[in-house]
Amino acid sequence: MEAETAGTPQDADEGVYGVRDNDPAAQLLDLSQIDESDVEQISRLMQALGTLREAERKVSEASARYMKLNETDMRALHYLIVNENRGRTVTPGDIAGHLGISAAATTKLLDRLERGGHVTRSPHPTDRRALQIRITAQTRQAAYETVGRHQARRFHSAARLSQPEREVVIRFLRDMASEIDIKHIDWVADE
């Protein structure tokens, strides 16, 4: 196979998150007081975040295809697994709140998951007015053996860091999440 040459689609993807590549006219960021080596390192960091997001997107899509579910279904099942692990009872309202969807959308989601044999609905153990939602043993096992096992690999990456390095990463990720939170976007309608 011939070596890739400059200008190929693969080259076009490399550095797509570079600071200067995204803002060559400095309309978004004033970099005049920042050392060029810092700009380069920040660009590499942004590219690494983009690579992580792309890997997560691919895994999410593959997981959904494997389980024959959509992303919202997968998030609901993950929520059920975690709460079951914690010994918590989950209601339709809990799922709606976690997913940020309406009661009607939650009912449709639960109907779909129940028809597929992924969840069961039963009377709540302490509240006669509510239902308890549980993931089926088969779906839980399938999720653990496939998606869960793959996602657990994240632990190995974090474990390779020292405690101080993990604290830096935690601080960075929390700060980044805060910086890009939707509350800072004035062009998004209030929800």
pLDDT, average across residues 145-173: 92
Is position 130 within any domain?
A: yes
> Which pLDDT belongs to residue 61?
87
Give per-residue pLDDT as tens, 21-75.
Answer: 888 888 899 988 999 999 999 999 999 999 999 998 898 888 888 888 888 999 9
Is position 93 within any domain?
A: yes
**For the chain, what is the domain count?**
1
- Give the confidence band of 2 by pLDDT, cuts at 50, 70, 90: very low
Is position 125 within any domain?
A: yes
List the single range of 11-15, 85-89, 151-155, 166-170 with lowest mean pLDDT. Answer: 11-15
Among residues of the chain, what percentage have pLDDT more than 90?
61
Is position 184 within any domain?
A: no
Which domain CATH number covers 77? 1.10.10.10
Is position 185 within any domain?
A: no
Give per-residue pLDDT as tens, 45-60.
Answer: 999 999 999 998 898 8
| Domain limits for position 98 | 70-149
Burial of 20 (0-12, 13-18, 19+ CB in 10 A): middle
Is position 180 within any domain?
A: no
Residue 3 has pLDDT above 50, yes or no: no
